[in-house]
Amino acid sequence: MATVSELWGRSSAGKRHWRVFVGGYAAVVFALLVVVTLAGGSVFADSFLLSAALFYAPPFVSAASAFRGGGAPASLAVGLAPGVLFAFVVGSRALVGHPVQGEAPLWALTVGFSLLGVVGALLGYGLGRGVLRFVEG
């Protein structure tokens, strides 16, 4: 059974932890989204890097965060980052007069990306906590 301190994370380096894991991951996703949407990107960035950052990275970042003492809120923020940043970048591009053509509405993509990220981040959080308990015990 997880204790309350395990769920919230260690308070000793809370701000630094959020800055490193959540902020660092969000900065990488934001940079990739800006490159792909505004500059046209490349085939490598479009197909591999963006999909890896949006879909495959949240479980690993969340597991590393949990292993280093991060809590569930940090993992949830990691999971929500891809969907929220996608909506921000694509929505801001539409606001300046360059709408992105697509078959799905922006809100549906945002919810879908966020759900995938949150589920992956929670799985990563559980994995990171499990490995931490194994290493400590």
Does some domain include residue 42?
Answer: yes
Does some domain include residue 3?
Answer: no
Does some domain include residue 2?
Answer: no
Does some domain include residue 7?
Answer: no
Predicted pLDDT at 94: 75
Does some domain include residue 1?
Answer: no
Predicted pLDDT at 80: 94
Rounded Cα–Cα distance for residues 90 and 33 (Å): 9
Total count of domains within the chain: 1
pLDDT means per 10 residues, the chain with 137 residues, are: 55 72 90 77 66 87 89 90 90 76 83 93 92 86
Does some domain include residue 89?
Answer: yes
Q: Are 59 and 78 in contact (CB under 8 A)?
A: no
Q: Which of 106, 76, 61, 115 is nearest to 88 (CA)?
A: 106
Q: Are 10 and 69 in contact (CB under 8 A)?
A: yes
Q: What 3-state DSSP class applies to 39?
A: coil
Q: Are 111 and 58 in contact (CB under 8 A)?
A: no
Predicted pLDDT at 63: 92
Rounded Cα–Cα distance for residues 98 and 74 (Å): 33
Predicted pLDDT at 8: 54
**Burial class for 62, CB neighbours closer than 10 Å (0-12, 13-18, 19+):** buried
Does some domain include residue 38?
Answer: yes
Does some domain include residue 31?
Answer: yes
Predicted pLDDT at 89: 87
Q: Which domain holds residue 90?
A: 12-136
Q: Are 105 and 90 in contact (CB under 8 A)?
A: no
Contacts of 96 (CB under 8 A, 6+ apart): none
